[in-house]
Amino acid sequence: MKPSHHNTHINGAGNCKGNCSHQHGDWNAFIFQRRHLLIWFLAALIPFAVVRSYFSHSPAVYEVETSHEETSVQTSEHRSTPVPILNRAGDSLVGHNSSVINQDGDCDLSTGEWIPDPSGPFYTNATCRAIQEHQNCMKHGRPDTGYLNYRWKPMNCELPRFNASRFLELMRGKILAFVGDSIGRNHMQSLVCLLSQVEDPRDIYNDGTDKFRRWLFPSYNFTLAVLWSPFLVKEMTKKIEGSASEQLQLYLDVVDKNWTSQLHEFDIVLLSGGQWFLKAALYLEKDEVIGCHYCPGTNFTQLGFYFAYRKALRLALKSINTSPDYKGLTFLRTFTPDHFENGRWDNGGTCERTVPFKKNEIAVEGMNAEMYKIQLEEFEKAAKEGAARGLKFRLINTTWASLLRPDGHPGPYRYPYPFAKDKNAKVQNDCLHWCLPGPIDAWNEFLLEMLKREST
């Protein structure tokens, strides 16, 4: 049945001879069929739209290894079809809880690109004493400096450069705590370096491992704390009977008291993490094993690390929401991608790029997309519950900005002058943590802009 045939009926209705009602009946039946077809088609599109918006692609299999306290992951050798991160200002999972700085919601800090900026970094290894050795790329002889000459440009607005004096004024008399893993500590150390250009802080507490540490900026009575909690929940490590190996156990229904016991002291809490969940582990609830991630040779159910991370993050956010003594502002910083290429951290993986990716050269996909999705979903639930209790939750969405910076990692320069004796030396790379100074400093520009918005 051709549309042109029915157009003849419509256009010639005034001149119809004979039984026009039969023709009108045919046309009405056609319209009825077309309407049903259209409704069916639109309904069929809804699941695809939902899947696309949540990045629901089948994740690749990732192996987990550990090196001292730091965890790295295997990057997928066979990437799925790229799915760009879509953080529109109107996205219900981002929206008013994200890094939007305009009151009308038209400007989202999380989407944009890195553009050249010849002004360079605010500090160097000579002007900041808080840089951890593994991230001290300048001191360790990294030869290129171009990675220091970019700034983040959001899609529809300008992100001002970091203003240390303004940050300290906003934080006068407050305590800001970073809770998470070594990337969270990396983030905190960047902030210490940025602020120390205005006032050199006093190191008022250090547990000797840098896992728990506090800095005081005396002129502003502002304390910056970092608390080590890579899983956010209770963890234990037990030796495997008859083996020299150890087995990690995560209690997914017991929050880590190392940070929640201090929650009442803090005015602002910044949660982050996720990478450590890739470690092989047994998962427990009510002191009983309910499953595991990578536990060959056992009868335990393989639940996977996505399951554990969702449970742990949900419990952590719930603990904040139900704390009787915490009335502060809570930030969740989104998942940080690594940039290992040609292997993992432990089998020759490297990060040799010296310039940022263009926005059409890479996408949030695979594990990065799934961890990001979990964060958005759990954050939205917690933010709604918190709002009902008068608590504020905000999302610092740095995933896309971080993904575009494969050039910002220490790589082989986690070690001092790794090629001094042999230019072809095989050196373990760090493509997960960030050079200081480096792209991670922009995370604190995100943070400052959001704090400014909270103060208005």
Query: Catalytic positions, please?
Result: 182, 430, 433
Give the CB-side neighbour count of residue 381, counting CA atoms within 13 A. Answer: 13
Is the four-CA dihedral 248, 253, 254, 256 of positive or negative sign? positive
* Gyration radius of the chain over CA positions: 26
- Helix (H) / strand (E) containing 246: strand 246-255
Q: For helices 182-195 and 441-455, give the axis angle rounded to 10 degrees.
A: 70
Catalogue the E-assigned strands of 346-411: 392-396
Paired tokens of 158: 């300008």
Question: Closest Cα to residue 144, out of 441, 406, 424, 445?
Answer: 406
Whole-number Å distance between alpha carbons of 145 and 109: 25
End-to-end CA, the chain: 63
**Residues comprising the chain, all counted:** 456
Catalogue the E-assigned strands of 241-368: 246-255, 268-271, 281-285, 288-293, 329-333
Tokens 């998470």 -> residue: 180
CB-CB neighbours of 325 under 10 Å = 8
Question: Closest Cα to residue 93, out of 275, 286, 334?
Answer: 334
Whole-number Å distance between alpha carbons of 376 and 241: 40
105-118 burial code (b ≥16 CB/10 A, e <16): eebbbbbbbbeeee
Paired tokens of 208: 């000797």
Question: Closest Cα to residue 396, out of 176, 91, 166, 100?
Answer: 100
Paired tokens of 109: 């800090």
Whole-number Å distance between alpha carbons of 31 and 177: 63
